[in-house]
């Protein structure tokens, strides 16, 4: 199963649209996971129309309309891989331990908020992934998103994609 992970899209405040390579990946993916800070409902509508399956949550920059349509935390079983999606996980110090305690029944936690790509494993095996941001790189050298592949209940491949500057 092919996954696309994104977060912190901030449309239309940080960009008019998602970069073309991300749209291409979204359309090719089996499942798209968005870890919040959409900002405008039109992106949720566009991603819903273009993705085979979309799992998303709201972030701290998402207003009442998005919060009415999206949960704070999403949980899904992807062929045995137990996944949770959330926007914020708190400071980087102690993140693995904090998330392992908060999500003890999860194999993969996708999160956003920092705009900084992250890939680590918590005690007990919880994998934490942050795709960064495809539109607002902040202090990072590139805008980014993640692609991952699963086989059964295992995450078999994770690849960070950098995006060209507009």
pLDDT in tens, the chain (166 residues): 999 999 999 998 888 899 999 999 999 999 999 999 999 999 999 999 999 999 999 999 999 999 999 999 999 999 999 999 999 999 999 999 999 999 999 999 999 999 999 999 998 999 999 999 999 998 899 999 999 999 989 999 999 999 987 5
Overall domain count for the chain: 1
158/166 Cα distance (integer angstroms): 25
Range list of H helices, 71-115: 95-102
Give the residue numbers spanning the domain of 92: 2-163
DSSP assignment, residue 97? Answer: H
**Domain of residue 26, CATH code:** 3.60.21.10
Nearest CA to 58 out of 76, 43, 77 is that of: 43
């Amino acid at each position: 199963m092919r996954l696309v992970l994104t977060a912190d899209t901030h449309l239309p405040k940080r960009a008019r649209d998602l970069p073309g390579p991300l749209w291409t990946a979204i359309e090719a993916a089996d499942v798209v996971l968005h870890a919040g800070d959409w900002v405008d409902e039109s992106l949720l509508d566009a991603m819903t129309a273009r993705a085979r399956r979309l799992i998303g949550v709201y972030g701290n920059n998402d207003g009442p309309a998005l919060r009415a349509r999206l949960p704070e935390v999403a949980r899904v079983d992807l062929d045995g891989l137990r996944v949770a999606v959330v926007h914020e996980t708190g400071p980087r110090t102690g993140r693995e331990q904090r998330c392992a305690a908060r999500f003890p029944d999860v194999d993969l936690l996708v999160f956003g908020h920092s705009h900084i790509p992250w890939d680590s494993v918590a005690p007990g095996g919880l994998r934490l992934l942050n795709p960064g941001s495809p539109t607002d790189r902040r202090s990072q050298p590139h805008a980014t998103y993640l692609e991952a592949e699963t086989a059964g209940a295992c995450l078999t491949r994770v690849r960070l994609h950098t995006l060209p500057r507009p």
